[in-house]
Amino acid sequence: LITVVALEFFAGALADRYGRRLVLGSAAFAGGVTSLGCALAGDWRWLLGMRILGGVADAVTMPALLGLTAEISEGRQGVFFGVLRSAQGLSFIFGPAIGGALSLFSLRAPFLVDAALSLAACVLLVRLVPAEASHAGESHHWRQLRVLSDLFTDRRFYAFALFCGVNNVAFPVLAAFLP
């Protein structure tokens, strides 16, 4: 999670610059490869390295996925984001149980299943989502600085950041103390 938090802020800029499909597909592929690396790890150092690289892939995934969701929802963002967040919630509920059940067969099994699902998601993304125009050729360094400046001067950003913090930190912490 430390890797995700550190890199997620900048990962959105990658998706904006190089295209959401390319970034999301690359991150899904990297996630699959790192899960496969975890399954094949021979010692704890290899496993730790693969988990850190997997965190990098996860950090790149979410901003690109959110951008792609907004792009393909065609005016029905509430429904699309509702489905996305519901899927994430279900993964938090059922993921540990499924991973625990798979680990009864082998401690490597959860990583192998994750690798297969990640690589399948990468293939589906490439086949089903059309590529958008690449922005790689634009001279955009000053434009990106201006966008960041505009972001930090917009009061709505701070309200959104506060809501995200409360949603992702405070509620789970409070829930841990409730009987």
The rounded Cα 132 to chain-centroid distance in angstroms is 19
Q: What count of Cα atoms within 13 Å lies in the side-chain half-sphere of residue 1?
A: 2
Cβ atoms 109, 102 nearer than 8 A: yes
Distance CA 104, CA 90 (A): 21
10-14, 43-47, 73-77: range with highest mean pLDDT: 43-47
pLDDT of residue 176: 53
Distance CA 10, CA 25 (A): 17
pLDDT digits (tens, 9 = 90+) for 129-148: 777 644 444 455 566 566 66
User: pTM for the full model?
Assistant: 0.71
pLDDT digits (tens, 9 = 90+) for 46-89: 999 999 898 888 888 888 888 888 887 777 888 788 888 888 78
Distance CA 136, CA 114 (A): 31
Q: What percent of the chain shows pLDDT beyond 70?
A: 72
> In sequence order, what are the residues at sequence separation of 6 or more whose Cβ sits closer than 8 angstroms to the Cβ of residue 17?
135, 136, 140
